[in-house]
Every structure is written in C-alpha cells, then in structure tokens.
A and B are shown apart, each in its own frame.
Chain A
Amino acid sequence: MFDKLADRLGQTFKNLSGKGVLSESNISDAMREIRRALLEADVNFKVAKKFVAEVTEKATGERVLKSLSPGQQVVKIVNEQIVELLGSNAEKLELTGKPPHVILLLGLQGSGKTTTAARLAYLLQKKQNRRCMVVAADLQRPAAIDQLEVMAKKAGASFYCDRNEKDPAEVTRAAIHKAGLAYNDVVIVDTAGRLHVDSDLMEELERVKAVAKPDESLLVLDGLSGQDAVNVALEFNEQIGFSGAVLTKMDGDSRGGAALSFRAVTGKPIKFVGIGESVTGLEEFDPSRMAGRILGMGDIVGLAEKAQEMFDAKEATKLQKKIKTNSFNLEDFRKELVKIKKMGSLNELMAMLPKGMRPAGADLDSSQFTQMEALINSMTTRERLRPEIINGSRRKRIAKGSGRTVSDVNRLLKEYRTMKKMMKRMRSTRGMASMFR
C-alpha cells in the first residue's frame, strides 16, 4: 500500500533536496507535483488542496528560503504535514466497563463488513483473550448469514443468528442478551451494507444502533475507493455516528488515499486495516508507521512484529544447536522457507524496509520459495537428512517428482551448501549464532 505515493513523493523530494537555493517557482513546481501525487493516490481533492496550501505557507517563509538547506527544510515540512494528517497516535478499541462490549460494523455494500467481523473476532480472541460472539444482522444480502457462520467458525468465535427474524434490531437485542448469559465479553454485530443516501436503510441502522448501544461503531471503508469515500464517511457520521474506521483491501496496489483523507475530514481515527484473504488479515493501524511507509522510511517495527509472530523459542534453540553441530539439513532448510513464506509476500516485506535498504530492481517472486519447497518435498526423508547421498539418478527423480529440471535441483543444493558454509563460518565467529536467538 502507498507504494505509488511514496514513489512520487520520493521523486519530488529528490529534486528539492538537491537544490542549494530555492526560488518561489521551485516551490510552486514542487507543490504542483505533491498535489498531483496526492490526487493520484485518491486523497480527497479538498484535503489535497488544503495540504498543499498549508505546506506552501510554511515553506515560503523567510526562514526556510534563507536557511542553509532550503530543500531539506521543505521536505521536512511535508513530512510533518503528512504525520499530522494521519494523526500520531495509534488509537485502540475502547472496550472498558461492564461486558458484554458491543462493536457495531457499518458501511456500504461490498466494503468487507462480514469478513472484518470474523477477522476482528479472531484478532481480539488471539491478542486480548476475549470471548467473541459475531452476530448476523445482515438480513438483506442472500446467504450473508451463511457466510458469517462459516467465517465465525474459522475465527473460532461464537455465532448468533435468527433465520426467522426479519428485524435486525431484534436480532441484535437477542444476541446481546444471549452473549451476557454465555459469558461472551465482546459482541460484534455485522450489519447489512447500505448506501448513505438510502434513508430507509439508514433509519433501520439507527434503530440497530439504539438497541446495540455499541462501545465502538466502526465504519468499514473499501481501501480502493476514491473521492467518494469522504462523502460516505461524512454522511454515515452525521446520520449514525461512528468511533473509527476499518480500511479494507489494503494489499499491494491500494492507493490508500482514503486513509489520508479520513481523519482530516471526520476527525475520527482509523483503527484497523484489512489485508489479504485469510481470517488473520486484520492489523491494528499505526499512523506513525504508516507515515513512515509513505515517506519511504519503511516500517521496521511492523517487520519485526511479523517476524516475532512466526518466532518459536523451542524451534530457535533447536536450530541453534543444529548450527553448532553443523547438522543443518534440508528438512531444516524447508522449515525456514515455510516460515518466511508465512510472513507474507516478499514484495510486501520489502516494502516495509526503508527505501535505501531495498535491493535494487527487485520485483521479488515468492514463487521461487514455493519451487524450492516443492523440490524438497519430493525428496525422501533420508535425502533430506543426508543431502550428500543425492546422486545423479536421485536428482532426476526429484526433478520429475516436483515438475522441475535437474538444474533446478542442482541450484537448490548449491544454495543449501552455501547456507551451510555460512553457518559454519558464523559458528566460528563468537556471538554470531545469537543472530538466531
């Protein structure tokens, strides 16, 4: 996410930083570029206009232009402005007081409410040890109830529905009552998607909200959406009111403009972003880290967190032992591959590194890992544990079994040997093995 914006801003910054003297026209060119970058990233045009006006005002002051490095100064101003736009603190869910706490999800059709409901339950159960119940209050879309039921099961949450009830407010009331009896401490209500101009459905939502008395009402916004996101947010806020937003479909190519405009327009925080296809794809939104990504400074904290999630102390100790005794075999190699793959696509991971640290020309392909894994998978256990026995005919068999060529097998074995050599060297250098700790 934000890759395009980061690229464009980076280019503008480069042009600015190189200049020892800045004229008014340099600045106005740069501002034009910045405005364009924001608009192409789907930032609301009013927000973009205001943004540029504020930066221009700060940047054309005497102090900036006469300073030693005016270009750098302007870059700094833009950076600060972006951080300000996103807000600086991550705002968590406010679930205090007497349970059950109620979270109401609202939004347009197709923005991802049902998926988010299940993901939120999964996240709260895993990170906060909550007992969640998801409630199917979307009685409009055909089979929405079934979808939520299946997803709730995947998330390991309880599920409530009433297929004979026609009133979502009534479903919500009954669900909250039942949650209290069943010691569920968070109730997540999935409502039907609706347009902000559909007054009947908005009234219905108001009634649901009145019954639910939610601790948190979250607007679920499609991360791919353009200028209209702001209208939707403002209308929902005025008619129903919400405490924050969830931005969905934020993988890869999302422009993320909605994220940049949302807070500026509504004054409310974005609390989560949705990524990927699985039930685990919901992350807490941290604006300062997001700003880091936009400004090409990466998101090292996020990367470390991802690594942490995959980290298993027992496995790590085992691995360390293997390195010490030089018995690292292909089975271990395979395990490491799987771990890296689980962290997400390589491109996604690379995007979290600061610009300067990314390998050049990298359009990394995670499929290489899959290929390597396939190769190892078609080896026998003995071959994995003692790779040195892999001779010509075994190579042929392995290649055939994994649909690759013998030279692919050779390449894999070479990689493995290089890695083993590296480990040997690390073993002899004191303290290096602690890399894996």
Chain B
Amino acid sequence: MNLREKLKKSRDALNRKLGLVFGEGVDENTLELAEEILLASDLGWELTELVLERFRKEFKLNRDSSWKVILVDILEELLPENKSWSSDAKPAVTMVVGVNGAGKTTTIARLSQAITRDGHSVLMGCADTYRAAASEQLALWGERLGIPVHTSIEGTDPGSVTFDAIKKAQTLKLDHVIIDTAGRLPTQKGLMDELSKVYRVAGKAMEGAPHRVLLVLDGTVGQNALPQAQQFMKFIPVTDIVVTKLDGTAKGGSVFAMARELNLPIRYIGVGEGADDLVVFDGRTFVEAIVGGND
C-alpha cells in the first residue's frame, strides 16, 4: 500500500459525509460541516475559528470553486514554512525526543534506513536506559536493518551513552548519529532535567551537537500537543516535528496548530511500521487528508 492509498483510507469516511451536502450549494450547513471537519481533525478551537473566518471571506470571492478546495488552500497557507534540512557536520547528530509511546524508536529505525538507502552511514544510539528492553528493541532493529547500534545496560546514565555513541561515530567516521531517548511526559521535571543534560553532554562530545532535535508526536494527540511541545522546548531546543501513526483515522490537526504556533517545521510523517512508511512531510497532502481532499 502506498502513502496515497493509506491516507485515502482515512479520507474515505469523510468523503462519504461530504457527498451528502455537495449538491446543496453554500449555506450555514456547509459552514457547519467545515467546522465539523476542522474540529474532528483536532485543529482546536482557536485555529478552527480563524480558518472559518477566512473561509467565509474566501467563499464570497470564489463562489465557483468547490468549498473543499478553498478550505485546503486556506489550511495550506497557514502551515509553517518548511525549509529543507542539511548539515555539514560529520557526524550530524540528531536527537529524538517525545512522550511515551509516540513512536520514537520506530521513527529512528526508519530514518536510519532512509539514510543508509541514500548511501550515507549512520549509527543509532540508545539513550533510553529507563524503559525495560528499550535497547533490545533498538538492537533488534539494527540487526534487521544491518545498521550499527550503540547501547548500554538498563539504568546507565543516558548522557554517557550519548557521549560514547557520538565518539564512536567520530572514530568510525560515520555521516550520522541518531540518539533515541526515553519517552517522558513533560510534566515530569526530573526526567526533563535529565533530557537537557543529555543535550548538553552531546555538545561536549562534539561541538555544535546535536545538530537537530526531532520531537515525535503521536498523530492521535489532542490539544495537549501545544503545551507538550512548549514544555519540551523549555528544556531542549526542538528544531523539527515528526508526526506518527497517521495511517489510522487520526489527522494530526493539533500538531498542525502547534507547529504553526511555534513556527516549527514538520519534517516527517509516519504512516505505518513498514520500510517506506516514514515519509517526508508534504503540506498539500497533509491538509488534503484533513479536509478529505479531491480524489
């Protein structure tokens, strides 16, 4: 199944709903429907209000276009700017953070796989020394994908694992290091302090590291996305967003609202656990999936 098909699955339900009103032209009904779509995608109250306000205006100007297209255009305009990322550093150090169960480890495995496929070398470092069997999970991925992994035993200081992983990558002259961290709710202050320590230690192992910090969010997340990201950023400068699990019926609208509010680029989206299921973010496809798109 390719990405388009997967996203389509989540759109189908909406399209059925949309079909019902299509013939009826524009009225309060459409407005209400648009509101429903936006709210149901977790866009949140504030952004929904903003979009609807623009929608009313745009509608008067473009009576000929389908209202779905208008909605898609408005949303696309609201997305934060998305410059491509590259780093001259060698190794380029990427730290991956997020709450428990967001999909960090799977994301790392798939990201490393993509890097290898592009002909670059990568080391995966497991600084999740808290969760039971976290390093086994990453080690298994490494074995499957033929990618080197640096782990240590449960309970080791995550900073020291990070330090060693970066040093190892330097010695082996690898292009990338990706550091997995333990999932944590940002309300747990002790764990968050630990995270900023890991960040500082990375900088000691190599100047300028980590070169990017990916915050991974579960696509089903609700209005907690914004405070969550804000709290993470109090402790560690997040540079990019990854949204996972968008192959279900969730749309990730709250991540959209958060990325916009904080002006952070959404870098990748996860649409499953398969080899090709971590894809580079495409704004148009993303907002089309929210609205139900034009098939």
Once the chains bind, are A253 and B186 in contact (CB under 8 Å)? yes
A222 and B185 alpha carbons, distance in the complex (Å): 12
Q: Contact between A197 and B224 (Cβ–Cβ < 8 Å)?
A: no
Residues of A within 8 A of B140 (CB): 142-143
Checking B103, B134, B221, B248 against A226 with a beta-carbon cut-off of 8 angstroms, the contacting residue is: B221
In the complex, the answer to whether A147 meets B101 with C-beta atoms within 8 Å is: no
Does B42 count as interface, using CB distance less than 8 angstroms? Answer: yes
Interface positions of B from 132 to 147, Cβ below 8 Å from A: 132-134, 136-137, 139-141, 144
Which residues of chain B are near A228, meaning CB under 8 Å?
42, 220, 248-251
B173 to chain A, nearest CB (A): 28
Contact mask A227-262 → B, CB, 8 Å, 1/0?
Answer: 111011001000000000000010111110110000
By a CB distance below 8 angstroms, the chain B residues around A196 are: 248-249
Specify the chain B residue showing the minimal Cβ separation from A370.
B190
Q: Does B9 interact with chain A (Cβ within 8 Å)? A: yes
Partner of A45, one of B10, B36, B191, B224: B36
Residue tally, chain A, CB below 8 Å to B = 47
Residues of chain B with a CB closer than 8 A to A255's CB: 222-224
Quick check: B133 and A146 within 8 Å, CB to CB?
Answer: yes
Are B220 and A112 within 8 A (Cβ)? no
Q: Are A110 and B218 in contact (CB under 8 A)?
A: yes
Q: What is the minimal beta-carbon distance from B14 to any residue of chain A, in angstroms? A: 11
Contact (Cβ within 8 A) A109 B101 = yes
* Contact indicator per residue, chain B 181-194, by CB within 8 Å of chain A (1) or not (0): 00001111101000
Do A40 and B131 have beta carbons less than 8 Å apart? no
Which A residues are within 8 Å of any B CB, using their own CB? 36, 39-42, 45, 108-112, 115, 141-151, 154, 195-197, 222, 224-229, 231-232, 235, 249, 251-255, 257-258, 277, 367
Asked if B150 lies at the interface with its beta carbon under 8 angstroms from chain A, I say no
Interface size class of B (residues with CB under 8 A): 35 or more
Question: Once bound together, how far apart are the Cα atoms of A357 and B45, in whole Å?
Answer: 31
Rounded to whole angstroms, the CA-CA distance of A151 and B132 in the bound complex is 7
Q: A228-B250, A367-B189 are in contact. Are A110 and B101 (CB under 8 A)?
A: yes
Within 8 A of A (CB), among B89-127: 99-103
For window 151-186 of B, CB contacts with A under 8 Å fall at 154, 185-186
Closest to B6 in A: A197
CB distance from A57 to the nearest CB of B (A): 19
Query: Bound complex: CA of A222 vs CA of B10, how far in Å?
Result: 20
- Tell me the bound Cα distance from A41 to B9 in angstroms: 27
Q: Pick the contact of A252 from B101, B187, B248, B251 — CB < 8 Å?
A: B187
Q: Is B208 an interface residue (CB 8 A)?
A: no
Most chain B CB within a 10 A radius of its CB, from A40, A45, A142, A367: A142
B contact residues around A40 at 8 Å (CB): 44-45, 223
From the candidates A36, A143, A367, name the one contacting B45 in the complex (CB within 8 A): A36
Question: B39 within 8 Å of A by Cβ?
Answer: yes
* Shortest 4 CB-CB contacts between residues of A and residues of B: A226-B222, A110-B101, A252-B187, A150-B132
CB distance from A176 to the nearest CB of B (A): 24
* A108 close to B141 (CB less than 8 A): no
**In-complex Cβ contact of A110 among B10, B103, B139, B187 (8 A):** B103
A-B contact pairs, 27 of them (CB 8 A): A39-B44, A42-B222, A110-B101, A112-B101, A142-B136, A144-B137, A145-B133, A146-B132, A147-B131, A148-B132, A149-B132, A150-B154, A196-B249, A197-B9, A222-B101, A225-B222, A227-B222, A227-B250, A229-B222, A231-B249, A231-B250, A232-B248, A232-B249, A249-B101, A255-B222, A258-B222, A277-B130
In the complex, what distance in Å separates the CA atom of A195 from the CA atom of B274?
A: 14
Kindly identify which residue among A197, A227, A232 contacts B247, using a CB–CB cutoff of 8 Å. Answer: A197
Q: Are A249 and B41 in contact (CB under 8 A)?
A: no
Contact B222 A224 (CB under 8 A): yes
A108 touches B220 (CB 8 A): yes
Complex: chain A residue closest to B189, CB-CB: A367
- What is the minimal beta-carbon distance from B93 to any residue of chain A, in angstroms? 24
A121 to B258, CA, bound (A): 37
Q: CA A211 – CA B237 in complex, angstroms?
A: 49
Please, how many angstroms separate the alpha-carbon atoms of A235 and B9 in the complex? 14
Question: A36 to nearest B CB, angstroms?
Answer: 5
Per-residue contact bits, chain B 218-231, to A (CB 8 Å; 1 contact, 0 not): 10111110011001
Chain B: minimal CB distance from A145 (Å): 8
- Contact assessment for A249 and B99 in the assembled complex, using a CB-CB cutoff below 8 Å: yes
Q: What per-residue 1/0 map shows which CB atoms of B33-66 lie under 8 Å from chain A? A: 0001001111011000000000000000000000
At the interface, yes or no: B245 with Cβ under 8 Å from chain A? Answer: yes
Verify A222–B188 contact, CB threshold 8 A. Answer: no
* A229 to B10 Cα, complex, angstroms: 14
A109 to B45, CA, bound (A): 27
